[in-house]
Structure 1
């Protein structure tokens, strides 16, 4: 699981980073709202831990901008403000949970686990749809009308990422970071190989969906249904 933590108190952020890493999370830190927004818009994170009181751009503004751009990553808001009105504003702006500082790290870990379970349940219950294809990330099954293909895990993760980013272009770097991780030796050709695999399976299924390349930028999905 990959986490983005946006917190301007560097010592606190680095201490929490170490705790999260010991619990097998991969963590990136941002120390102001503008950097946090840029990172969050990449769509590569499983969770975002977001402070409200931030320099350059406050956490509520960051959160609203993320949601406006279709980023549905679960967000836990952190703030020194514990009043009911602050919680309501945060949750109404699209936050999934709320923690008032100071807080025990055990509680943060418990909330991350709870959000993870909730996310897994949503994936199990909901099939992702784009054009004439349906992808079940839980079973790795790709369906097009009455035909099916069982994808490999990385094929499924790649197609899931492209479906989630359907309104944008996903770069090779973003794909590598999301699917292989930051400490990987994977290179651009790994992405190209899996894009090729998916294209062949979409063609075999006779799907209207195709993976397009914008040279030097990345990949995106299109769907062109034939005239009936």
Structure 2
């Protein structure tokens, strides 16, 4: 699971990063809201953990900006305040969960494990982008006409459609979709990118996957 952490207190930032990394999570640690916002704009994360009181851009403003930009990533807010108004403000801004400092690391890790188990519940069954619709249950891509996709094609296109304009390295995509397959290699990524490019073109999609073999890829509008 890939996590974006933003906490301005250096010691707590380090403790949280170390604890999450120790159990295998990929953690990007930042120290202010603006830095976190720039990371979130350009990269995809499974969970974001933000302190409310941060310099340059506070956590509430950060969450509002991300939600206004269409980012639906699950967000956990951290705060030293216990007042109900503060929690309500966080939820109203678009946060999904809340932890009040001081909190137990065990509690945070339990919530992250729960999110891993329930991750499919947060994935939309139908994705729409530009003139294209992807039905993840029927594994069907449609626009001017329709075409069937394989399981892996559906999963890969879903990642791109939920993260338009965000770059994914070949290794990130491989870890996300193929890491559990002992006989798979990173070359699989390029093979399936090629399949999807052909199928997007065949339905007349107004966006495309750009990037070169072995490098990074992202979904963009044609002509952008």
Q: TM-score, normalized by length of structure 1?
A: 0.77
CA contact (8 A) 1:140 1:150 kept: no
Question: Which residue does the alignment assign to 2:158?
Answer: 160
Equivalent of residue 179 in structure 1, options 145, 149, 173: 173
CA distance in 2, matches of 1:193, 1:110: 37
| SS of match in other structure, 2:3 | strand
Alignment CA distance shift 1:210-1:18 (3 Å): same
CA distance in 1, matches of 2:127, 2:34: 31
Alignment CA distance shift 1:58-1:158 (3 Å): same
CA contact (8 A) 1:162 1:221 kept: no
Alignment CA distance shift 1:175-1:220 (3 Å): farther
1:126 matches 2:122: no
1:85 matches 2:113: no
Q: Number of aligned pairs? A: 208
| SS of match in other structure, 2:42 | coil
Deviation at 1:106, TM superposition (A): 0.9
Matches within 5 A, 1:64-79: 64-79=64-79
Matches within 5 A, 1:98-117: 98-117=98-117
Deviations 1:162-208 (A, max 9, x none): 31234xx334xx34474246xx9x99x986654322112334xx412
Question: Which residue does the alignment assign to 1:226?
Answer: none
Deviation at 1:118, TM superposition (A): 4.1
CA contact (8 A) 1:140 1:156 kept: no
Question: Which residue does the alignment assign to 1:225?
Answer: none
Deviation at 1:110, TM superposition (A): 1.6
Question: Which residue does the alignment assign to 1:56?
Answer: 56
Q: TM-score, normalized by length of structure 2?
A: 0.78
Name structure 1 gaps, 5 residues minimum.
223-228
Name structure 2 gaps, 5 residues minimum.
180-184
Alignment CA distance shift 1:92-1:115 (3 Å): farther
CA distance in 1, matches of 2:11, 2:109: 19
CA contact (8 A) 1:162 1:220 kept: no
What's the C-alpha RMSD, in Å, of the aligned pairs?
A: 3.1
| SS of match in other structure, 1:11 | helix
CA contact (8 A) 2:140 2:146 kept: no
Question: Which residue does the alignment assign to 1:197?
Answer: 195
1:18 matches 2:18: yes
Alignment CA distance shift 1:163-1:219 (3 Å): closer
CA contact (8 A) 1:135 1:160 kept: no
Deviating more after overlay: 49-58 vs 190-199: 190-199
